[in-house]
Amino acid sequence: MASSTITIPANGAATLPTPGQVVFVGAGPGDVELLTLKALRALQNADVVIHDRLVGADVLALANPSAQLINVGKQGFGPSTDQEHINALIVRHARASLRVARIKGGDCALFARLDEEIDALDAADLPYTIIPGITAASSAVASIGQALTKRGRNASVRLLTGHDTKGFADQDWQALARPGEVAAIYMGLKAARFIQGRMIMHGANPDTPVTIVENASRPDERVIVTSLANLPDALQTLTSGAPALTLFGLAPRDTAISRHTTQSPLLSQELA
């Protein structure tokens, strides 16, 4: 029967942090309402919340008021808390029999070094659970009224990182350059010219649509519509420091453009 109140089923308790246990939590792309109920419960029940830069203040405000908040944010090639230090921090708090929520932007299992933190817990023989979150790609395509896959266009979608620990990440450029391919590129701004060059070198059509969604799901979200050929110009219009997802092979649906797009003067001509 329909009800206006939300009842969280009792099995949600399976992922509540218990003393000495770590819960990895995906915080979603930013909009608090995109948090899962499990994520909310984990935040409310944690003694310590260890969070990344991408987890916003309004999400953290939902944590237990007595919880200790620890920011271990990293930013692209910029200053970061060493991963070893983060691992040690998580282990130390769990060993102290605290309920630890390790919360990361988007989905905690995507470009979030989850394995390394789990390895550290395994080595210390400490238990953990994982609460998935909505990843930036899901939020970004929703903003432009598109789907990540479409029958007859793309039967698969790639989630790529622009760079890894060694620098710009290499990809299967030949496969990506085929018509109809769709890729969501995370951390793709610094690598954008490199990606553009590789794609064109492997035969991608320079007119392939590219859409950059900045601050997806947040009040300051912006959608920048461009093409593979014009990607470098589009980069100049981005807000410094804002998280941005590059959707390769997707343009907004028309209705979505009028509702959401902030077009730079440079680019609006292309759309005319």
Residue 146, interface with ligand SAH (CB under 6 A)?
A: no
Residues 88-107 as x/- pattern, contact with ligand SAH by CB under 6 A: ----------------xxxx
In this structure, the number of other CB atoms found within 10 A of the CB of residue 190 comes to: 14
Residue 171, interface with ligand SAH (CB under 6 A)?
A: no
Residue 54, interface with ligand SAH (CB under 6 A)?
A: yes
Sheet holding 128-131, edge to edge: 68-71, 48-51, 100-104, 22-26, 128-131
Which of 23, 231, 243, 248 lies at the binding interface for ligand SAH (CB under 6 A)? 243
Residue 178 CB contacts under 8 Å (≥ 6 apart), including other chains: none
Residue 41, interface with ligand SAH (CB under 6 A)?
A: no
CB nearer to ligand SAH: pick between 80 and 205: 80
Please, what is the minimum distance in Å from the beta carbon of residue 112 to ligand SAH? Answer: 4
Residue 239 CB contacts under 8 Å (≥ 6 apart), including other chains: 214, 215, 220, 222
Which of 42, 43, 234, 244 lies at the binding interface for ligand SAH (CB under 6 A)? 244
Burial of 25 per CB tally in 10 Å (0-12, 13-18, 19+): buried
Residue 231, interface with ligand SAH (CB under 6 A)?
A: no
Tell me the two tokens of residue 107: 């989905």
Residue 248, interface with ligand SAH (CB under 6 A)?
A: no
Quote the CA–CA distance of 83 and 79 in Å, as a whole number.
Answer: 12
Burial of 264 per CB tally in 10 Å (0-12, 13-18, 19+): middle
In this structure, the number of other CB atoms found within 10 A of the CB of residue 13 comes to: 12
- Is 38 annotated as catalytic? no
CB nearer to ligand SAH: pick between 98 and 105: 105
- Number of residues in contact with ligand SAH under rule CB under 6 A: 22
Residue 121, interface with ligand SAH (CB under 6 A)?
A: no
Please, what is the minimum distance in Å from the beta carbon of residue 254 to ligand SAH? Answer: 22
CB nearer to ligand SAH: pick between 98 and 223: 223
Q: Are 70 and 49 in contact (CB under 8 A)?
A: yes
Nearest to 39 by CA among 108, 89, 85: 108
Which of 225, 245, 250, 251 lies at the binding interface for ligand SAH (CB under 6 A)? 245
Residue 215, interface with ligand SAH (CB under 6 A)?
A: yes
Which of 135, 154, 196, 230 lies at the binding interface for ligand SAH (CB under 6 A)? 135
In this structure, the number of other CB atoms found within 10 A of the CB of residue 268 comes to: 11
- Is 74 annotated as catalytic? yes
Annotated catalytic residue, options 52, 107, 172, 207: 52
Catalytic residues: 52, 74
Residues binding ligand SAH (CB under 6 A): 29-30, 54, 104-107, 110-112, 135-136, 186-187, 213, 215-218, 243-245
